[in-house]
Amino acid sequence: MTASDTTAPAISFAGATRTFPARRGAPVTAVDDVTLDIAEGGITGVIGWSGAGKSTLVRLVNALELPTSGTVTVRGRVTTELSERGLAELRREVGMIFQQFALMSSRTVAGNVGYPLAVAGWSREARRARVAELLEFVGLADLAGRYPARLSGGQKQRVGIARALATSPSILLADEATSALDPQTTREVLDLLRRVNRELGTTVVVITHEMEVVADICDRVVVMEAGRVIESGDVHDVFAAPSHPATQRFVRGVLQDVPAPDTLARLASRHPGRLVTVAVGGAAEDGDDTAQDAVARIPAAHGVRSTVVHGGIRELGGRPVGSLTLSLTGDDDAVAAAVAELSAVARVTDPRQPDTTAGTTATPSTSTERPA
Ligand SMILES: Nc1ncnc2c1ncn2[C@@H]1O[C@H](COP(=O)(O)OP(=O)(O)OP(=O)(O)O)[C@@H](O)[C@H]1O
Ligand SMILES: [Mg+2]
């Protein structure tokens, strides 16, 4: 990597659109006017419902698809301007793994991993050394001679990762790479992807429909809906302040910190005090745990009894994010003063009256699905 490469994005979409002609009816615009930079070296999650255009978006990166308008630039190469040779070079620099692994059943683990090297013209000895190194990295050194039919799903995906890394790509695309795996195996594969990023410096792009995967390993997230990028940014910031309703739904599935309507009704009947929800994390907070400190300190300072009745806080990108719902009891004026002081340092809402200032606020409580 040269010095100039470190400032340029790894992948840059500029007004990229991919339209497919339909056999009958209107053409389908799978990717619709996407302008987006993916920085070198991180792990970016692309999330969205089925049909949102995620696979098409990443297939634009290794030029399996070309944009019908706009451009996709991958480490300085504009995909629509490449010769056959340029395309081959691009595909050596962009590895890809798939949900269904796509291994060749007639070749052993070593044969699968070495295949892209054979295609690239490596000598037998060079291939053998490289394959051994790759299998060591993914923890499959013992299984070099085994055929895919005798591997578990997790092992198959690790073979897929080793094969994708064979030519030392600077970018690794993972399309639903863990969707066919159980939770424990998913963990292992995600850990491996994180190692690929940290230890090899590979830029990783992970497609998923599970926000949990994004929360686990990604540092940036791109949310797609109907071919468009509806939200993107630092994972912590997006989780703390999801501005689009679709993002709020994804985030709520992971954080589960805001009480559901029936839970809220139960809480209100059990706790006579005033209920307030205090957001933790988000742009408003400059300290590490300002809101958490405030929740512990402020009610007590006003002689108000405070009980945490619901909530959840999770570490994302090394910072806490979530919310705490408190029941505050005491003298009415003291409770009001405590709420006012809390509001000065953290975002405080009444869980029964979620605020509607979407876009500028900091919790999933802005969702349209919340009780009014
Ligand atoms: N080769 C193609 N020809 C016609 N339509 C296509 C083609 N590839 C994708 N599409 C359409 O483009 C839209 C986006 O598809 P895409 O596979 O990119 O979505 P996705 O977000 O990956 O979905 P999933 O989560 O189900 O994998 C869909 O409506 C799909 O039917
Ligand atoms: Mg897909």
Do the strands 305-316 and 43-47 form a parallel or antiparallel pair, or are they unpaired?
A: unpaired
Return d(Cα 208, Cα 58) in angstroms, integer: 12
Return d(Cα 16, Cα 27) in angstroms, integer: 16
Residue 268's pLDDT is: 83
Residue 291's pLDDT is: 84
**Domain 256-366: what homologous superfamily?**
ACT domain (3.30.70.260)
Return d(Cα 67, Cα 270) in angstroms, integer: 57
Our answer on whether the CB atom of 56 is closer than 6 Å to any ligand 1 atom is: yes
Q: Give CA separation, 263 vs 40, 71, 287, 326, in Å.
A: 43, 48, 31, 14
Our answer on whether the CB atom of 53 is closer than 6 Å to any ligand 1 atom is: yes
Distance in Å, CA 30 to ligand 1 centroid: 6
Mention the CATH class of domain 3-240: alpha beta
For atom 29 of ligand 1, the residue with the nearest CA is: 51
Return d(Cα 47, Cα 35) in angstroms, integer: 16
Distance in Å, CA 208 to ligand 2 centroid: 8
Our answer on whether the CB atom of 30 is closer than 6 Å to any ligand 1 atom is: yes
pTM beyond cutoff 0.85: no
Side chain identity at 255, as an amino acid letter?
L
What are the pLDDT digits (tens) for 248-279?
A: 888 887 877 778 788 888 888 888 889 999 98
The ligand minimizing its distance to the Cα of 25 is 1
Our answer on whether the CB atom of 64 is closer than 6 Å to any ligand 1 atom is: no
The β-bridge partners of 74 are: 11, 77
DSSP string, 39-68: -TTSEEEEE--TTSSHHHHHHTTTTSS--S
The answer to whether domain 3-240 and domain 256-366 are alike in fold is: no
For atom 3 of ligand 1, the residue with the nearest CA is: 20
Cα dihedral across residues 188, 190, 193, 198: positive or negative = negative
Distance in Å, CA 51 to ligand 1 centroid: 5
Say which residue the tokens 């054979």 belong to: 118
The ligand minimizing its distance to the Cα of 174 is 2
For atom 22 of ligand 1, the residue with the nearest CA is: 55
Q: Spell out the domain ranges in the chain.
A: 3-240, 256-366
Do the strands 171-175 and 203-208 form a parallel or antiparallel pair, or are they unpaired?
A: parallel
Residue among 13, 56, 65, 175 whose CB has most ligand 1 atoms within 8 A, to mutate:
56
Give the CA radius of gyration of the chain. 24
Per-residue pLDDT of the chain (372 residues; tens, 9 = 90+): 444 445 789 999 999 999 999 888 899 999 999 999 999 999 999 999 999 999 999 999 999 999 999 999 999 999 999 999 999 999 999 999 998 889 999 999 999 999 999 998 999 999 999 999 999 999 999 999 999 999 999 999 999 999 999 999 999 999 999 988 999 999 999 999 999 999 999 999 999 988 889 998 999 999 999 999 999 999 999 988 889 999 988 888 787 777 878 888 888 888 888 999 998 886 555 555 578 888 889 999 999 999 998 888 888 877 888 889 999 999 999 999 999 999 988 889 888 776 544 433 334 333 333 333
Residue 22's pLDDT is: 85
Distance in Å, CA 216 to ligand 1 centroid: 26
